[in-house]
Structure 1
Amino acid sequence: MAAEGGTDGKAPGGSGAGREDAAVAGAAPPARGTSWKLIGPGIVVAATGVGAGDLVATLLAGSEFGYTLMWAAVIGCLVKISLAEATGRWHLATGRTLLDGWRGLGAWTTVYFAVYVVLWGFVYGATAMSSSALPLAALFPGTLSLRAWAILCGLAGLAFVWFNRYAIVEKIMMVFVGVMFAVVVYVAIRVTPRLGDAFAGLLPVLPDGSLFYTLGLIGGVGGTITMAAYGYWVNAKGWTDSGWIPMMRLDNRVAYATTGIFVVAMLIVGAELLHSANLALASGDRGLLDLSGILEDRFGAVTANLFLVGFFAASFSSVVGVWHGVSLLFADFVERTRAARAQGTGGEPPVLEVARGQRERSWPFRGYLLWLTFPPMTLLWLDKPFGLVVAYGVLGAFFMPFLAATLLWLLNSDRTPREWRNGALSNTVLTVAGLLFVVLCVHELYELL
């Protein structure tokens, strides 16, 4: 969603076959502002944000209400386009990272992020490893235990991110997205969607009892803290100034259009395969294993196994994306905290210049990688402590309102060059998104407490 005050999107420099090389070298953007060959960071953030839990939530909405909430899935993608665009625009228009911007809003943002990222990483690490292990255990029964598969997935994610840089991460995420896209769309076609009902679902209707399913579809699919990582991936791509904003917008829209297709396809599967037959799934990621069994009964083992491969791609892409993206956030947080302490003064923190790729080799980046991998493995042997789950849920519920509110603050202030500040449309969408996330936050807190 373009939505912004700003220029006409034209940027200088670069041409012809040299455009792709320009991104790698951090040189000038394409002469006409965009190039389909350069798309990448948006795919990474979308693949990271769409995990097994999101697919289950969409399936359950389809199984409960059929096609009725199709419109909510579409609006959810538009909301995430606006949030990601705002994050990327901040990085490119100001030359500052999101953590840098947050620090300029006051010490409270630093305290919140520090507590959140440590606690979130501990619980999410175990969740992501377990989610990736489920389809592998189903594909290779009798080989390893679920716990062993989970540990292997965590170690694989650690090794891949530790020894590679963003360019390789982007390539493997493109593969994961290709697999997810092919499998989910294939299954949606196999269940023979009723296109008339699907198009009717684009008309906003709110059935009885559907309010929080609807809000969850709008606000839940496509990432939480990984939305904040988008600007870091944009910079890692070599896009470093406002000339790249048109390219970033194209990248972002393509990524979330792809996400929208995932969501719509899973809603179709839920509506046709579950709603019409009055079938139920288990809660959480195990619901996808239930769906695999239903697919095998109806379409055979090949389709079921293909779906499990797609399930693994969705889950393990989140491992790779989080291990890389949130580690970049944490490394930036440590760097800026140390710089502010060294400066020893209040006010705006110093602007740090970090060479592209250097942050991925830093000890804070690798330290957080280890934090995401090894301490969470203890939760694989234990039931998650109730207090930890509640604290994780509370902090997580507050993150998206925090992100929307701080983006509104930053992009409407003199911290952002005037030509790249929010326009009316962007302010409207971010405000509505922030209010939506507040409602979801209150609901989640009610459910937790």
Structure 2
Amino acid sequence: MFKKIGPGILVAAAFVGPGTITVCTLAGVHFGYSMLWAVLVSVIATIILQEMSGRIGVFTQKGLMDVVKEQIGIKWVKHLVIALVLLAILVGNAAYEAGNIGGATLGLEGLFGPSRFYPLLIGAMAFVLLWFSGYKTLEKVFAGLVGFMGLCFLIAAILTKPSLLDIGKNLFVPNLPEGGILTVVALVGTTVVPYNLFLHASLVKEKWKSKDELKAVKWDTVISIGLGGLVSMAILITAASAPLEDVRNAMDLAVGLEPLFGKSAIYFIACGLLAAGVTSAITAPLAAAFVANSCLGWKGMQDKRFKMVWMVILFLGVFFLSFDIKPIQVIQFAQVANGMVLPIMAILLLWIVNRTSVMGKHTNSLFQNIIGFAIITFSIFLGAKSIMKVIGLV
């Protein structure tokens, strides 16, 4: 079973990045264990959406946007969806890439001290892996990095000696503390990531070529994303157990733990943050390239235009971080666009997996549709909150 683990591990690597680490850290510091249920709900929603995306990928042997383009009969609607997706994912991933590289940079600084060359080093590492590696090599690299990252954060959580009774209670009994709604939205928003839907469908067809492999796709999705959720919970538990008040990023968490556990705390958190930053710094450009490939009908990972897209995303991330440029307006646009894309793609995803002309006998069950509608409802709420936050209404 573990030999079949593949695309799901890249999806897990994509959502457990510096942003997730920071959000989980803040949730733990401000609300203790009481937000664990929100992480669990986010992970379940992600598994359900990603399973649908993976099923479409292996059954149709096409990218998600290829299928969407075929199924939308109204020309102007099709072009509108393609334009929105392209803008949201390409601009969004370019804007967020600096944060991914910045997370890896923080990890290096925690291990070796400050240096202005770290962004270039991370960028060069990502470039080499993307340029010279095929899918199978990337899969092995990511499995190693995610395993390493998970081990670091799990050890950090165990070091804090958390209360298992409190963890169990807050994991399965929803509790919304005062002022916690935006934290719940942030936890869901950093886990249920729109570009991962495209990434997953495209990667699945790179690994599996037969409809008989649907069971393997499902197990890969459940195990990989479940492990990613476990990492997120470990970060929240570590932060909840640490004596911290003022936290801006994950390395502040390490510094707060140092008086209790010595230098080992800094090394574990720094190594985990480095692994999380590197994996996200690679998956964000890769996902953007797969989206462009699917929208514009290119020839896959070896197409020069495919490579050009991920190179531009990677370059912009290194450039913004190296020169301390904060493209606030670009990031705000990306937040609005992604807030619109998630519900649209969730609706299209549910529509496609219920079409027998596309999926044959592998359409959704009634239970999957009920859960799917619940996720769509919440994604609309999530998107609305994201947009209102940008324009200053919340």
Common topology (TM > 0.5): yes
**C-alpha contact 2:95 2:317 (8 A) present in aligned 1:** yes
**C-alpha contact 2:153 2:231 (8 A) present in aligned 1:** yes
CA distance in 1, matches of 2:271, 2:41: 28
Count how many residue pairs are aligned between Structure 1 and Structure 2: 383
**Other-structure match for 1:288:** 250
Pairing partner for 1:115 from 71, 74, 87: 87
Pairing partner for 2:282 from 317, 320, 330: 320
**C-alpha contact 1:87 1:228 (8 A) present in aligned 2:** yes
Q: What stretches of structure 1 of length at least 5 have no aligned partner? A: 1-34, 337-353
CA distance in 1, matches of 2:383, 2:232: 22
Report the structure, 1 or 2, having the larger helix content. 2
**Other-structure match for 1:226:** 196
The one-letter code sitting in structure 2 at the alignment partner of 1:232 is S
**Other-structure match for 1:131:** 103
**C-alpha contact 2:285 2:311 (8 A) present in aligned 1:** no
**Other-structure match for 2:205:** 235
**Other-structure match for 1:304:** 266
Are 1:188 and 2:157 an aligned pair?
yes
Q: Larger C-alpha radius of gyration, 1 or 2?
A: 1
**Other-structure match for 1:62:** 28
CA distance in 2, matches of 1:217, 1:119: 22
The Cα of 1:382 is off from its aligned counterpart by 4.9
Identity percentage over the alignment? 23
The one-letter code sitting in structure 2 at the alignment partner of 1:421 is T
CA distance in 2, matches of 1:73, 1:281: 20
CA distance in 2, matches of 1:48, 1:113: 18
**CA deviation digits over 1:335-361, x for unaligned, max 9?**
26xxxxxxxxxxxxxxxxx6xxxx221
What aligned pairs does 1:149-188 form with structure 2 within 5 A after superposition?
149-188=118-157
Are 1:205 and 2:148 an aligned pair?
no
- Aligned alpha-carbon RMSD (Å): 1.8
**C-alpha contact 2:43 2:229 (8 A) present in aligned 1:** yes
Superposition misfits of 4+ residues, deviation over 6 angstroms: none
**Other-structure match for 2:9:** 43
Pairing partner for 2:231 from 262, 269, 276: 262
The Cα of 1:414 is off from its aligned counterpart by 4.2
**What SS class does the counterpart of residue 307 from structure 1 fall into?**
helix
**Other-structure match for 1:250:** 219
**What SS class does the counterpart of residue 374 from structure 1 fall into?**
helix
**CA deviation digits over 1:381-405, x for unaligned, max 9?**
2532443222122112222212211
CA distance in 2, matches of 1:415, 1:150: 47
**C-alpha contact 2:64 2:294 (8 A) present in aligned 1:** no
Change in CA separation of 1:159 and 1:68 when aligned onto 2, cut-off 3 Å: same
The Cα of 1:412 is off from its aligned counterpart by 2.0
- Which stretch shows the higher mean deviation, 427-436 or 192-201? 427-436
**Other-structure match for 2:75:** none
**Other-structure match for 1:442:** 384
Change in CA separation of 1:444 and 1:101 when aligned onto 2, cut-off 3 Å: same
CA distance in 2, matches of 1:376, 1:321: 13
The Cα of 1:117 is off from its aligned counterpart by 3.1
The Cα of 1:257 is off from its aligned counterpart by 1.6
The Cα of 1:219 is off from its aligned counterpart by 4.1
The Cα of 1:447 is off from its aligned counterpart by 1.5
CA distance in 2, matches of 1:232, 1:288: 31
Pairing partner for 1:91 from 57, 64, 71: 57
**CA deviation digits over 1:290-335, x for unaligned, max 9?**
1111122221112211220111001101112223333233223332
**Other-structure match for 2:341:** 399
CA distance in 2, matches of 1:417, 1:386: 41
**Other-structure match for 1:17:** none
**CA deviation digits over 1:137-171, x for unaligned, max 9?**
232225x22xx211221122012111110111011
The Cα of 1:222 is off from its aligned counterpart by 5.4
**CA deviation digits over 1:357-377, x for unaligned, max 9?**
xx2211121111221122344
